[in-house]
Structure 1
């Protein structure tokens, strides 16, 4: 199958490089994306918003004849959900990596400090301890060296969804920072954070205990988890 990989904040297509080998070895075609404004530290970011990134993913979907699998990490989960809403008949499965579908009217994160049109990678003490699990000093140095400022509009724009057929697209949630059992409990309790996820008809949960960046801390395990979801989808 064709698999489109959407990175989280501050990352480009190369962030998936240690995740993709199991997928390509199994014969799947992978397409890691570098979204607008993330091409380099010097790339222009003015005017780039959440819809810009959703439209970029939708355009990639349109380049294929058959339905694709979308994978979104962190803030990329909101982006792929917007793309599912835009192309519900062209997505075979959405895979959320330590993320989930962002509901209409929601925003990704307006608490991240901005510098003009840029949202730089914050200092490590900005994050919760659970975010940083398994992220060694060497991995932190690597991440910070490759990090590109995120366009401010992507973090602060509100999600706009229109097509309820998005709830018919199967989803996989790969839970890292906290177990999937917690997500299930939140859904059962009617927590607003998971209200959109609760409306998806077919959701499977996979536990991959680590921090918020499994593509760095457990790339082989993440690749295997994505491959299993893609293979199940291809077999349907």
Structure 2
């Protein structure tokens, strides 16, 4: 099966390199993406918005000869949800890695400080302690060295959705920063943060306790969790 992996902010396809070995060993085709504007630090980012990233994922879905599994980390969760909405009959499962689906009109994060057309990786002080769990000094240095500024429009643009068949696509949430029990409590309480997730009819939860970047802090375990979700599919 084709497994399309969508990175979170500031990252390119190479961020999945330590996650994909178990997928490949099981005979799947891993397709990590580098989204528009993330090709290099000096790549142009003006005019690139959320829809451009969704369209890039949709193009990858359309290029496959069978239904695919979509994996989205962090802000990539909003992006794959937009692709699920665009191609609900072509996605076998959506896997949200420390992320979730973004509903109509929502934005990924318009509070991130922008510089012109881009959002650089903020200083570590700008993150919550829970984000940084297990991200030691060496991993932080590696991450910052490879980080590419995110196009501002991707963070700030509102999500636009059109097809409620998206709610019938099975989903897996790999919960890292917040345990799945907390997410379920939020759903039961009607918290707006999980309103779109609450509408998906078939959701499974997998706990992978670590910080917000499990592809760096627990890559082998993340690969195993993704593979298990694909195999259940």
Q: Counterpart of 1:70 in 2: which secondary structure?
A: strand
User: If the length of structure 2 is used for normalisation, what is the TM-score?
Assistant: 1.00
- Could you give the per-residue CA deviations for residues 82-134 of structure 1, whole angstroms, max 9, x where no partner exists? 00000000000000000000000000001111110010000000000000000
Alpha-carbon distance in 2 for matches of 1:149, 1:163: 31
Alpha-carbon distance in 1 for matches of 2:189, 2:39: 41
Q: Counterpart of 1:204 in 2: which secondary structure?
A: strand
Alpha-carbon distance in 2 for matches of 1:59, 1:11: 19
Question: Deviation at 1:141?
Answer: 0.1
Moved more, 187-196 or 74-83: 187-196
Alpha-carbon distance in 2 for matches of 1:178, 1:198: 16
Question: Deviation at 1:189?
Answer: 0.8
Alpha-carbon distance in 1 for matches of 2:231, 2:16: 19
Question: Deviation at 1:65?
Answer: 1.8
Question: Deviation at 1:64?
Answer: 1.1
Alpha-carbon distance in 2 for matches of 1:178, 1:194: 12
Paired position in structure 1 for 2:108: 108
Confirm whether residue 87 of structure 1 aligns to residue 92 of structure 2. no
Alpha-carbon distance in 1 for matches of 2:7, 2:192: 25
Alpha-carbon distance in 2 for matches of 1:225, 1:203: 15
Question: Deviation at 1:76?
Answer: 0.1
Confirm whether residue 65 of structure 1 aligns to residue 65 of structure 2. yes
Paired position in structure 1 for 2:39: 39
Confirm whether residue 162 of structure 1 aligns to residue 174 of structure 2. no
Paired position in structure 2 for 1:136: 136
Paired position in structure 1 for 2:77: 77
Can you give the 5+ residue segments of structure 2 that lack an aligned partner in the other structure? none
Alpha-carbon distance in 1 for matches of 2:65, 2:26: 20
Q: Counterpart of 2:102 in 1: which secondary structure?
A: coil
Alpha-carbon distance in 2 for matches of 1:123, 1:184: 31
Paired position in structure 2 for 1:149: 149
Q: Counterpart of 2:205 in 1: which secondary structure?
A: strand
Alpha-carbon distance in 1 for matches of 2:64, 2:222: 25
Alpha-carbon distance in 1 for matches of 2:10, 2:49: 14
User: Root-mean-square deviation (CA), in Å?
Assistant: 0.4
Paired position in structure 1 for 2:172: 172
Question: Deviation at 1:177?
Answer: 0.4
Alpha-carbon distance in 1 for matches of 2:232, 2:30: 16
The structure 1 segments of at least 4 consecutive aligned residues displaced by more than 2 Å after TM superposition are none
Alpha-carbon distance in 1 for matches of 2:34, 2:102: 21
